[in-house]
Amino acid sequence: MKDSVLGNIGIIGNGSWGTALAKILTDNNNQIHWWVRNSEALEQLKNRGNNPHYLTSVRFPQNSILPTNNLADVLQNCKTVIMGVPSAYTQDVFKSVDTSLWKDKQIISAIKGILPDCNLLFNDYLATHDWFNLQNYVAITGPCHAEEVAQERLSYLTFSGLNDTLTSAVAKAFQNTYLYTTYNHDIWGAQFAAVLKNIYAIGAGIAHGLDYGDNFLSVYITNCYREMYRFLEMHFDKVHPSNERPDFHTSAYLGDLLVTCYSLHSRNRMFGTMLGKGYSVQNAQLEMNMVAEGYYASRGMETISESLGIQHPIASSIYSVLWDGVQPREMFEKLQKTLS
């Protein structure tokens, strides 16, 4: 089922999130071109229809996927491309082919972080290229865990873009019985909310690892949302090219923060829990099989917030643990006195 607006669809990346997005689209009778870097995963997807490393229970019907390790092939054959690799690797993947291949593509970002080499959201990085048209960009945000998509448990996605025709077509392509979709125009706010919630989730995990209870965690998350809301409001006033103020009290903002801070599926919370239990940052990274986006995001947000003159003391406190070597317990003993 090929939508005339979207044309052929490609997915770049075969981690848990990329695999979940592939499942949703193929369940909706879309055939996808799929760039897969790992050779073992590529062969198993071709021969057995499943990803051996992520969401292994998901089976893709024959002919629903066209996996390849040739990125140029995906770009040449697809009108719409979903970028689903971790932010830490996005620039390397983007630059691994001639940049002219990206021109005129409809780019759907499933990246939940800041690109660490330039401290930019993906759309702002693309905007450094004169061929990029923001009308061809849509961002995907939650709240939605890949593991629950694999189980077909009811989930929600928000799509943010300035082009209503494209954004609504993307949202429709993902809508089904277990996935409810909505869309808005808030490209920057929705993505920054996704970035910040990953940082705050590391803090929630640290608190859990330090044996703080649910009572404290509820206070902590309340203050995180207050800080997020203040950042989004100030960022909108300083940067956003629209007078259409978003509703930040919706699932793409508050809901995504809650699920990422509370859920046992959250890799950022898991990473923070390990830090709270005494792992070093380096050892926690080695133990995890997935990238905790909040680690890189914390450094990027420090730079961005400083450049905009927007303070975010909770996120800065977590940054101090991740990048300045401050001990988690010392950080929380100071932070807890400032919460209300």
Q: How many CB atoms lie within 10 A of CB 45?
A: 23
Between CA 105 and CA 93 the distance in angstroms is 16
- Rounded to two decimals, the pTM is 0.93
Max intra-chain CA distance, the chain: 57
How far does the chain reach from its first CA to its final CA, in angstroms? 52
Return the pLDDT at 319.
Answer: 97
For domain 9-185, the CATH superfamily is: NAD(P)-binding Rossmann-like Domain (3.40.50.720)
In the chain, where the domains are located: 9-185, 188-335
Closest Cα partner for 197 from 245, 267, 149, 148? 267
pLDDT by residue, tens only, the chain of 340 residues = 567 899 999 999 999 999 999 999 999 999 999 999 999 999 999 999 999 999 999 999 989 999 999 999 999 999 999 999 999 999 999 999 999 999 999 999 999 889 999 999 999 999 999 999 999 999 999 898 889 999 999 999 999 999 999 999 999 999 999 999 999 999 999 999 999 999 999 999 999 999 999 999 999 999 999 999 999 999 988 877 667 888 899 999 999 999 999 998 899 999 999 999 999 999 998 888 767 889 999 999 999 999 999 999 999 999 999 999 999 999 999 999 999 8
Rg, C-alpha atoms of the chain: 19
Sign of the alpha-carbon dihedral angle for 3, 29, 112, 245 = positive
Tally the residues of the chain.
Answer: 340
Residue 194 token pair = 């996704």
Domain 188-335: give its CATH superfamily. Answer: N-(1-d-carboxylethyl)-l-norvaline Dehydrogenase; domain 2 (1.10.1040.10)
**Beta carbons of 206 and 321 less than 8 angstroms apart:** yes
Residue 179 dihedral angles phi and psi, to the nearest 5°:
-135, 110
- Both tokens assigned to 289: 């099989």
Contacts of residue 307, Cβ cutoff 8 Å, sequence gap at least 6: none
pLDDT at 4: 85
Helices (H), the chain: 16-27, 39-47, 71-77, 87-94, 122-126, 146-150, 164-174, 187-209, 214-238, 256-262, 267-276, 281-287, 293-308, 313-323, 328-335
Which 3 state secondary structure label does DSSP give 107? Answer: strand
Instruction: Return the pLDDT at 292.
Output: 85
